[in-house]
Amino acid sequence: MENALILVVEDNTSNVKFIELFLETAGYRVCAVEDAEAAQKAIATTRPDLILMDIQLPGMDGLTLTSLLKKEPATSDIPVVALTAYAMKGDKEKALEAGCDSYMSKPINRPRLLEVMDQLLTAAKTHSVEPVPSPASRTGNQEN
Ligand code: MN
């Protein structure tokens, strides 16, 4: 989904530059923040279409932030993709438990990440524009 707004929560400056460049090249708009608190402020101002969430952050970690967002009705349906440099056994399970919609370990496989993002954005869009079923009462006026 081109032109979608992606919030990148990542404290490593060179990772941010790399992610920003390839997302913008793919046609996405990018907002990058370096910690969970800045992410919360950004989300309160502008709702992102998807979040790329580094797990290891200074202060509140990415999984804690994800679980907070997933508990909040206003933000629970924003897809979150967890990114981590520490591909330890059990990390994926922890990420999914926290409510992340997907998980990828660094170094980032760009085609794979774009594919995952596209699937999540398409699914989120399908849910939000679900058509209202046409009322059955259309077929007959019961008022008189
Ligand atoms: Mn980090």
Q: Are 28 and 2 in contact (CB under 8 A)?
A: yes
pLDDT of 91 reads: 83
Between the CA of 103 and the centroid of ligand 1 the distance, in Å, is 15
Ranges under pLDDT 70 in the chain: 1-2, 86-88, 128-144
Q: Are 81 and 50 in contact (CB under 8 A)?
A: yes
Residues 6+ apart with CB under 8 A from 78: 43, 47, 48, 49, 50, 51, 69, 124
Between the CA of 3 and the centroid of ligand 1 the distance, in Å, is 26
SS3 content of the chain, % helix, strand, coil (to 5): 45, 15, 40
pLDDT of 56 reads: 92
pTM here is 0.85
Between the CA of 56 and the centroid of ligand 1 the distance, in Å, is 4
CATH number of 5-134: 3.40.50.2300
Q: Is 102 helix (H, G, I), strand (E, B) or coil?
A: strand
Residue 65 CA neighbour count, 13 Å, CB half: 30
Residues 6+ apart with CB under 8 A from 96: 103
Query: Across-strand partners of 7?
Result: 31, 51
Cα separation, 81 vs 137, whole angstroms:
43
Between the CA of 19 and the centroid of ligand 1 the distance, in Å, is 13
Ranges of each domain in the chain: 5-134
Q: Is 96 helix (H, G, I), strand (E, B) or coil?
A: helix
